[in-house]
A and B are shown apart, each in its own frame.
Chain A
Amino acid sequence: MSEVLSGLFGQLSTGTAEVIGPWVAALLTLAVLSYVFGFNPVFRLAEYLFVGLAAGYAGALAWNQVISPRLQLLLTDPSTYWYYGLFFFLGLLLLARAFRPLSTLANLPLGMLFGIGAALALGGALTGSLIPQVRAAVVSVVPEDYGPGLVGWAYALDAVLLSLGTIAVLSAFHFATQGRGFVSALWHGLIRALGRAGRVLLMITFGALFAGVAFTSFALLSSRLVYLAEHWFKLLNRLGL
Chain B
Amino acid sequence: MIVCPACSHRNPEGAKLCEACGRSLANFVYRVCPSCGALNSAQHVFCHRCFAELALAEGEEPIPESTFVRPYTPPIVTLEEEVTTQAVHREAKAQASETGARPTSEALPGQTPSEAELGPRAAAPISEEQAVAPSMEGEMGEMPASTEEALSPLEAAESPEVLGGGPVGAAGVETPAVQVAPPDETQALTPEAAANPLEGLDDLLPFEPAVTLPHRPSQHVSAAPSTTEDYEAELFQQVAVERAPLQEGAQVVLPRTAQGLPQIGRTILYILVLLAGVLPLFTWGQMSSFVQPRESVLALVRTIEELPSGAEVLLSFDYSPTYAGELDPLALAVVRHLARRSVRMVVMSTKPEGIGLAEAIYRTITEESPDYRYGEHYVLLGYLPGQEAGLRSLNTALGDAFKIDYLQKRPLGELSATSGLATLKDFDQIIVLSDDSLTVQRWVEQVQAQSDIPFHALVTSAVEPLLVPYQRSGQLLSLIPAASGAVEYELAGSVKPSALFRSDAYAAFFVLLLVVALVTNALYARRGKRGS
Chain A positions within 8 Å of B, measured between CB atoms, are 36, 54, 57-58, 61-62, 65-66, 69-70, 73, 116-117, 120-121, 124-125, 127-129, 132-133, 135-136, 162, 205, 208-209, 211-216, 218-227, 229
Contacts and interface: CB of A to CB of B under 8 A. Distances in A.
Interface string B253-277: 0000000000000000010011011
B389 A120 contact: yes
Contacts of A229: 278, 281
25 contacts: A54-B320, A58-B352, A65-B406, A117-B389, A120-B389, A120-B392, A121-B388, A124-B442, A128-B441, A128-B445, A132-B449, A132-B473, A132-B475, A136-B472, A212-B463, A215-B509, A218-B509, A219-B482, A223-B324, A223-B329, A225-B278, A226-B278, A226-B280, A226-B502, A227-B325
Contacts of A120: 388-389, 392, 446
Given A124-B442, A229-B278, A209 B389 contact: no
B464 to A, nearest CB: 6
A218 B273 contact: yes
B115 interface: no
A221 B444 contact: no
Given A215-B461, A227-B325, 11 more contacts: A57-B353, A61-B383, A121-B388, A128-B475, A129-B445, A136-B469, A136-B473, A216-B462, A222-B325, A222-B505, A223-B324
Interface string B490-515: 00000000000010011001000100
A132 B471 CA distance: 11
B375 interface: no
The listed residue with most B CB atoms (<10 A of its CB), out of A62, A209, A214, A223, is A223
B326 interface: yes
A54 B321 CA distance: 9
A226 B276 CA distance: 11
A112 to B, nearest CB: 10
B509 A135 contact: no
B474 interface: yes
B325 A220 contact: yes
A223 B404 contact: no
B460 A216 contact: yes
B453 to A, nearest CB: 13
Given A65-B406, A73-B403, A212-B464, A128 B280 contact: no
Given A212-B463, A212-B465, A225 B277 contact: yes
B46 interface: no
Contacts of B462: 209, 212-213, 215-216
Contacts, number: 144
Nearest to A123: B445
A128 B446 contact: yes
Contacts of B153: none
Contacts of A62: 352, 383, 385
Nearest to B387: A117
Q: 4 shortest A-B CB distances, which residue pairs?
A: A128-B445, A223-B325, A124-B445, A136-B473
Contacts of B469: 133, 136
Interface of B: 270, 273-274, 276-278, 280-281, 320, 322-326, 328-329, 352-353, 355-356, 382-383, 385, 387-389, 392, 403-404, 406, 409, 441-442, 444-446, 448-450, 460-466, 469, 472-475, 481-483, 502, 505-506, 509, 513
A129 B441 contact: yes
Contact of A125 (B280, B392, B445): B445
A102 to B, nearest CB: 25
A218 B389 contact: no
A69 B404 contact: yes
Contacts of B278: 222, 225-226, 229
Nearest to B486: A219
A116 B245 CA distance: 58
Contacts of A209: 462, 465-466
A209 B392 CA distance: 30
Contact of A212 (B355, B387, B409, B461): B461
Nearest to A59: B352
A133 B468 CA distance: 11
A223 B501 CA distance: 11
A226 B305 CA distance: 31
A100 to B, nearest CB: 25
Nearest to A69: B403
The listed residue with most B CB atoms (<10 A of its CB), out of A57, A205, A214, A218, is A218
Contact of A66 (B325, B356, B385): B385
Nearest to A125: B445
Contacts of B352: 54, 57-58, 61-62
Contacts of B446: 120, 124, 128
B132 to A, nearest CB: 46
A216 B403 contact: no
A220 B475 contact: no
Given A73-B403, A136-B469, A221 B277 contact: yes
Contact of B383 (A65, A70, A116): A65
A117 B388 contact: yes
Contacts of B281: 225-226, 229
A211 B403 CA distance: 42
Nearest to B466: A209
Nearest to B328: A223
Contacts of B509: 215, 218, 222
B277 A116 contact: no
Contacts of B473: 132-133, 135-136
